Amino acid sequence: MKRKTVTDLAHNLLLSNINKESVIVDATAGNGHDTLFLAQHVKHVHAFDIQLQAINNSKELTKDYSNITFHHTSFENITKITPYYDGVIFNLGYLPGSDKQIKTNYHTTIQTLDKLHEKKMGFIEIVAYPGHIEGFIESVAIQSWLDKNKIKYRVIKLPFDTKNEPPFIFYWNYKDWKENFSVFLCISIVYYTVPWYISSVQYTVVRRLSLWIHNLKKVLLNFVF
Ligand SMILES: C[S@@+](CC[C@H](N)C(=O)[O-])C[C@H]1O[C@@H](n2cnc3c(N)ncnc32)[C@H](O)[C@@H]1O
């Protein structure tokens, strides 16, 4: 039986977040395997890569699909080029079988995450490769960035991976964040308005009662004298 890879894990996670109406950004098209998977399951894919060779390889692999727009540019331009999306996936590192010097780096990755965080739209899935030094620095930078921004994220790893620093996935969803925020807002509104309402009702009751007693006293006094 074929052993599951981190890509299988990433694709399984994607399946629970996408449907035939989804618009998804593949931030790092590479050889097009993720772009192909997405094109088979969603309405539209925006695929980015800084290397022309990667764009061409991806185009070749996905030539039977017409629901992909390729962008030969850095993923730093995602928010400028694609104003709407349901999710963004990153598969960090270098193009397999090509120049290993051209790879993602923590500086542009964090800058891009900052821009996506401003939009707070959809989910973000990042496959990180800490097995090489730049990949290790990049994954530590992402984790610190997530903690600094108080983002609730999940780290998903393959069970029983015996490698020293096996690849893993960062995942978070701004939809959950927005839902949690709405629940928090509702609870806060109830928490602050209900006691105020109760106290104002109590105030009215007490005031009416004291007025009533006052009037009764006057009537009784009139009656007696
Ligand atoms: C590990 S590969 C992606 C694999 C790909 N998802 C696949 O299924 O074959 C990483 C890719 O990121 C690209 N890349 C590096 N820096 C980038 C950037 N700033 N913007 C967009 N793509 C970048 C590289 O050119 C490389 O093709």
What is the full DSSP assignment across 22-53? Answer: -EEEES--TTSHHHHHHHHHSSEEEEE-S-HH
pLDDT band for position 209 (cuts 50, 70, 90): confident
User: In whole angstroms, what is the distance from residue 128 CA to residue 197 CA?
Assistant: 52
Pick from 67, 181, 30, 187: which is nearest to 120 by CA? Answer: 181
Tokens 């927005």, located at residue: 178
Say yes or no: CB of residue 44 within 6 Å of ligand 1. no
User: In whole angstroms, what is the distance from residue 38 CA to residue 21 CA?
Assistant: 12
CA of 95 to the centre of ligand 1 (A): 6
CA of 32 to the centre of ligand 1 (A): 9
pLDDT at 222 over 90: no
pLDDT in tens, 115-151: 999 999 999 999 999 999 999 999 999 999 999 999 9
Instruction: Note the ipTM here.
Output: 0.98
Q: Within the chain, how many helices (H) and strands (E) appear?
A: 7, 7
pLDDT in tens, 142-177: 999 999 999 999 999 998 777 788 999 999 999 866
| Residue closest by Cα to atom 18 of ligand 1 | 74
pLDDT confidence of residue 3:
81
Asked if residues 58 and 118 have their Cβ atoms less than 8 Å apart, the reply is: no
Tell me what the mean pLDDT of segment 29-43 comes to.
98
Domains and CATH numbers, the chain: 6-173 (3.40.50.150)
